[in-house]
Structure 1
Amino acid sequence: MTSEGRNAAPAVVEDVFDGEATGVEVEQLSLEEAAIERPWNPEQIRVSTSAFSLRNILDQIDEGSLELAPDFQRGKVWKVDQKSRLVESLLLQIPLPAFYFSEDTDGAFHVVDGLQRLSTLHSFVRGEGFPLKGLEYLRNAEGDRFQDLAVQWQRRINNAQLIINVIDPTTPGDVMYDIFKRINTGGTPLNAQEIRHCMSKPRSRQILKSMTHSKSFTVATNGMTDHIRMNDREMALRFAAFRILGLDTYMDHPVMESFLMRATRLLDDVEAFPDIEVEELRRSFSAAMSNAYLLFEENSFRKWPLTASWKSPINRALFETWSITLADFDPFDLKQRREQIVRAARERMTLDIEYLNAITSSTADRRRVAYRFDAALEDARTGL
């Protein structure tokens, strides 16, 4: 490679989902990071297999003992014809692929794999429903809702047998996460935050939702709230993880997935992380968002070199470091030094190739994490 190639700034690549830009930059992992292994004893895996009727599963959903991860945006992805083909499979008595549930220590179940399928079936049979459309074989049922079907067909759907694999609550959290990733092979695989969302409890989900629904976050991110891939929740979780657990904790075990999963479990534990600390977390997060917008306005958490004539997508590594850095600064002080801080940050994004690499590729590498945190703090102190 030429020296010019070595010194070239990494390209900005925006993530795309379902044919549309998501407004968030792709976070590029190295082959080494993507292949990180966390060896665990196979004997720690506890999975039991049972068969349940669909009626029984729907009853568990209605009574709240089986949770379909509410507020999960990906459910909007399936088109009516895809949903209809799933219902048609049951009417044709075609066995569905096995489902995976995880059981928590309270005896409640969470859907690990099969969320969209169960959401679809629950909506069709017990919810608002939808008219069948695009059927391949049972075209005489075209346009029918559940209540329109013949009684024997309704019975066939309710009595359909589903194979359920249940992950026992004694299975360690990191092992469960790895299992989730391995079996996550649906048409549109879940990303890391979507997996954490399905594995978590209502408390952490509500905390992250409240953080991303704050006005300060919406303004600072130009409306990133309720992101289709839950990148808004991941950004809030990254702030929570580094704010609560600290950078040193990450440096001791630099695996981002484990770090964020640990923070999720902490947010779910009211004794380990009481409500008064939740309020302080929300306050510091809101302060960080307001301070970021005060400095960078619509370019908050985005690459903004001096040569830029465009607005880049949000960069998660920039969000992580600048939000933590700015959380405790006095806004009056930042306002006085705004031009100097912004100039320093933009010059770094223009000239510092090591910094650009640290926010673009191999972003979980401990040296790159440390470098970008140090850089953000140095720039934020410009003019002091």
Structure 2
Amino acid sequence: MVVHLGARLYASLMTDSAAPDAIVEEQFAGEGTGVELETTDDDASPAREIEPWDPEKIRVSTKSFSLRNVLDMIDADDLELAPDFQRNRVWKARQKSRLIESLLLQIPLPAFYFAEDADGLLRVVDGLQRLSTIHGFVRGQEFALDDLEYLEKDGSKFSDLEPALQRRLHNAQIVVHVIDPSTPEEVKYDIFKRINTGGEPLNAMEVRHCMSRTRSRDFLKRCAASEAFQTATGGVLKDHVRMQDREAALRFCAFRMLGDISNYDEYGSLERLLDWAVRQIDDNAALSDSQLAALFEDFELAMNNATLVFGGHAFRKWPTTSERYSPINRALFESWAVVLADYDERSLTPIASAIVRKAREVMTSDPNYIASISSSTSDARRVEMRFMVPRRLVSRLAS
């Protein structure tokens, strides 16, 4: 049974004795995302050690820019809008038009946040949707104004506006808080989480995407776009509106690079581990091109093996009491993918049906395993449990 419930009720359902059919699908804008809602309890984790910020290292300066200047920086790649960030597309035509109308009416916009790197390049931290909309209207001619409240300019593109109104847009001043490159990376993440204000709050993966570098973004995009991944996940994560496709790939990479699952304790939470994994991928010195290529091969092998063994039920809860297709479960994804990457097709084919039978049994009758893939999934004991079970299961059948 798949139900659509709030996170609080989901947490009350998913206890150590939770029924295996109590599955809750994550929602966005009133629609299911194809991914099971997950509670990690990262902030409540007793293993997490809070490290105080050093105020001397936190530098945020306030500057004023004209929109013409900002648009020029975007065109010159001096200001990065985090390409292929899906949430840009959530804004409706009316929202976009009303933003442009506010500028034409000379109504000040809320402040923006940019992060500066060591090379002087800027990345948008807060205000991505607003700047994407303005750039699309002024430079890309991507949409015409519609459903305006005060100005009679419905149907007008930028080129249709009088020169005076075009100048008004170009000369509009915006206030920008710029995070200095000397600010520690983990502090930048925390600042982002505190100040992102645009509409629906960003999730951790969306924050990570906006703050990461091109190397990791391109790599995770490649993983998520691979045919093997799309087949294994039934296509439900394709161009995912909440970037769960990229997060799934990152979770595989993080635990694959981690190696011994006991090393997880060093990070204290799943989010810290994923942040570390992004930094590793972004750093050529930490992960060479050849190592990154090998990681992609492992990822594709895991996806192909998951399809071989589980078919359409790969990475989904599949108790013996139901044949329904459940939403993708991220805890199942990371653990089973990492385990399956250790085997080739020839060794798995003869034991595939036995793996399915045993996996369904533990998803049905083992309360500790069910808990490990259902709630408080960042807890070190539950992480260890969900990796240990499939590793032992497959190893015994393959021996």
- Place the TM-score, normalised by the shorter chain, in its bin: over 0.9
Q: Which amino acid aligns with 2:167?
A: R
Question: Contact conserved, 1:99 with 1:113, CA < 8 A, in 2?
Answer: yes
Q: Which residue of 1 aligns with 2:91?
A: 78
Cα 1:242–1:135, aligned 2, differ >3 Å: closer, same or farther?
A: same
Residue identity in the other structure for 1:263: A
Name the stretch that deviates more: 243-252 or 169-178.
243-252
Q: Which residue of 2 aligns with 1:198?
A: 210
User: Are the counterparts in 1 of residues 71 and 135 from structure 2 also a CA contact under 8 Å?
Assistant: yes
Deviations 1:22-44 (A, max 9, x none): 11011113385389854322332
- The amino acid across from 1:320 in the alignment is E
1:323/1:181 CA distance change after superposition, 3 Å: same
State the match for 1:364 in structure 2.
378
- Structure 2 residue 42 is matched with structure 1 residue 28: no
Verify: 1:233 aligned to 2:280, yes or no.
no
Where does structure 1 differ by over 4 angstroms across 4 or more consecutive aligned residues?
4-7, 34-38
After superposition, give the CA deviation of every residue in 1:79-136 in whole Å (9 maximum; x if it has no partner).
1110000001111111100000111122211100000000000000001331111111
Matched residue, 1:328: 342
**Uncovered stretches (5+) of structure 2, i.e. residues with no partner:** 1-11
d(CA) in 2 for partners of 1:375, 1:69: 38
Contiguous gaps of at least 5 residues in structure 1 = none
Question: Does residue 218 of the first structure (1) align with residue 230 of the second (2)?
Answer: yes
Q: What secondary structure sits across from 1:142 in the alignment? A: coil
Q: In structure 2, do the counterparts of structure 1 residues 34 and 162 end up closer, same or farther at CA, with 3 Å as the change threshold? A: farther
Following superposition, the deviation at residue 11 of structure 1 comes to 2.1
Q: Secondary structure at the match of 1:337?
A: helix
1:305 aligns with 2:323: no
CA contact (8 A) 2:42 2:271 kept: no
The code of the aligned residue for 1:325 comes to V
CA–CA separation in structure 2 for the residues paired with 1:90 and 1:32: 39
Among candidates 77, 88, 91, match of residue 101 of structure 2: 88
- Choose the corresponding residue for 1:354, options 368, 376, 382: 368
Q: Which residue of 1 aligns with 2:9?
A: none
Out of 148, 171, 176, the position equivalent to 2:160 is 148
**Deviations 1:265-309 (CA, angstroms, capped at 9, x unpaired):** 111112221111111001000000011111100000000000113
- TM superposition shift of 1:352: 0.8
Secondary structure of 1:222's aligned partner: coil
Distance 1:241 1:5, change over 3 A: closer
The worse-fitting range, judged by mean Cα deviation, of 140-149 and 343-352 is 140-149
CA separation of 1:5/1:316 partners in 2, compared to 1, >3 Å: closer, same or farther?
Answer: closer
Aligned equivalents of 2:182, 2:21: Cα separation in 1: 44
CA distance in 1, matches of 2:383, 2:258: 15
SS of 1:360's equivalent in the other structure is coil
By how many angstroms is 1:252 displaced? 1.5
Amino acid at match of 1:250: Y
Distance change (3 Å), C-alpha of 1:291 and 1:180 = same
CA distance in 1, matches of 2:17, 2:231: 37
Q: Is the 8 A contact 1:66 1:109 kept in 2?
A: yes
Secondary structure of 1:141 counterpart: coil
d(CA) in 2 for partners of 1:206, 1:7: 38
In structure 1, the partner of 2:274 is 260
Alignment of 1:146-185 (within 5 A): 146-185=158-197
Normalising by structure 1, we get a TM-score of 0.95
Other-structure match for 1:103 = 116
Q: How far is the alpha carbon of 1:48 from its aligned partner?
A: 0.6
User: What's 1:12 paired with?
Assistant: 23
Per mean C-alpha deviation after superposition, the further-off stretch among 295-304 and 238-247 is 238-247
Aligned partners of 1:284 and 1:369: how far apart in 2? 21
Structure with more contact order per residue of length (Cα contacts < 8 Å, sep ≥ 6): 2
Instruction: State the SS of the aligned residue for 1:163.
Output: strand
SS of the residue corresponding to residue 185 of structure 1 reads coil
The answer as to whether partners of 2:16 and 2:367 remain within 8 angstroms in 1 is no
Equivalent pairs, count:
381
The answer as to whether partners of 1:51 and 1:162 remain within 8 angstroms in 2 is yes
3-state secondary structure, aligned to 1:164 = strand
8 Å CA contact 2:116, 2:122 repeated in 1: yes
Equivalent-residue separation in structure 1 for 2:306 and 2:345 (angstroms): 10
Moved more, 275-284 or 8-17: 8-17
Tell me how far apart the structure 2 counterparts of residues 360 and 75 of structure 1 sit (CA, whole Å): 30
Contact kept in structure 2, 1:10 and 1:357, CA below 8 Å:
no
Contact 1:100 1:113 in 2 (8 A): yes
1:126 match:
139
Percent identity between matched residues is 55
- Pair 1:252–1:67, CA change in 2 (3 A): same
Q: CA deviation at 1:45?
A: 1.3
Q: Partners in 2 of 1:254 and 1:183 — Cα distance?
A: 24
